[in-house]
Amino acid sequence: MTQLAAPPHPFDVAVELDSFDAGRFHGHTDPAYANMVGPFGGITAATLLRAVMQHPECLGEPLSLTVNFAGPIADGPYDVSAYPTRTNRATQHWNVELTQDGAVTTTATAVFGVRRQTWSSTEITPPTAPAADSIAPQSFPDAIAWARNYDIRFVEGSIPAPEDGTAGEQPNSTTTLWVRDTPPRPLDFPALTALCDVFYPRVFLRLGRYLPAGTISLTVYFHADSASIAAQSDNAVLGTARTQRFGNGYFDQSAEIWGRDGALLATTHQLVYFKA
């Protein structure tokens, strides 16, 4: 009996790109990864990284990615262009753009490289957390569709619930959580990129309420190579995020993503706009 191929994972559907020219791709927003306004920023960042990885001139593995959300992305088709600006012996630098109807909505730069074995040391340590299976998952508000694609289990700093009267201003902005794709999916570089953006805006936690906020710029530094990422399989990873300062309509947001074996997989930094 002929076995039918398993349907693609929702994440792979959302980041799918069709090549129509060297370094130029067609994509389409996916309602499963919609945010309150436009698509989930993490899925956009993952798609732009995917464009570089699919490029025939791509060298090595991702080392860093910076995505600037210049304007809103409407539901529907879009185009992505990716081209290398310089290729060295060990590193390669990229420019990426996402456009809709001829207008640029998102820009990115990426650095790829060939990793080699050297001395290494990790100076920070993962946060203390109970096992993921010992914590109940928590759902996000219905308007945040993308969150339904993740199993999120908060260790601290869960999403505020002002409607039930339990939320209030908090002394700090730290959230620590276990997270993985649902249905489970083996980790890879695009999925890790998206996971770096699963933390809701820190100002929600500090003030204990929802307010207008949105990421302007997101940078991911990849500390893991492809082998260590593959070793994570589909296990949950541990993330922690915090803000250094709120003020004048903007705040920064820094986060770490740790493997269940205590390996630092990625660090990430954001600049976020807010009104309060």
User: Which residues are CB-contacts of 37 (< 8 A; sequence separation ≥ 6)?
Assistant: 72, 214
Phi, psi (degrees; rounded to nearest 5) at 10: -55, -35
**Two tokens, residue 13:** 């559907």
- Kindly report the number of other CB atoms within 10 A of residue 223's CB atom: 16
In angstroms, rounded to a whole number, what is the distance separating the alpha carbons of residues 29 and 145?
13
Write down the pLDDT at residue 3: 67
Write down the pLDDT at residue 162: 66
Closest-CA residue to 180 (of 195, 193, 190): 195
Contact between 229 and 182 under an 8 Å Cβ cutoff? The reply is no
Longest dimension (CA), the chain: 65
What DSSP letter does each residue of 61-119 carry, written as one string?
EEEEEEEEE-SPPPSSEEEEEEEEEEE-SSEEEEEEEEEETTEEEEEEEEEEE------
Unique residue bearing structure tokens 């600049």: 271
- Kindly report the number of other CB atoms within 10 A of residue 4's CB atom: 6
Write down the pLDDT at residue 119: 96
Write down the pLDDT at residue 260: 78
Closest-CA residue to 268 (of 77, 51, 62, 17): 62
Domains and CATH numbers, the chain: 10-114+135-274 (2.40.160.210)
Write down the pLDDT at residue 128: 96
Write down the pLDDT at residue 161: 80
Write down the pLDDT at residue 165: 52
Contact between 179 and 198 under an 8 Å Cβ cutoff? The reply is yes
Write down the pLDDT at residue 170: 92
Q: Is the peptide bond before 183 cis (omega within 30 degrees of 0)?
A: yes
Write down the pLDDT at residue 2: 63
Please give the average pLDDT of every successive group of 10 residues along the chain, which has 276 residues. Answer: 78 97 95 95 98 97 98 97 97 98 97 95 96 94 94 96 70 97 98 98 95 97 96 97 98 96 96 96
Write down the pLDDT at residue 248: 97
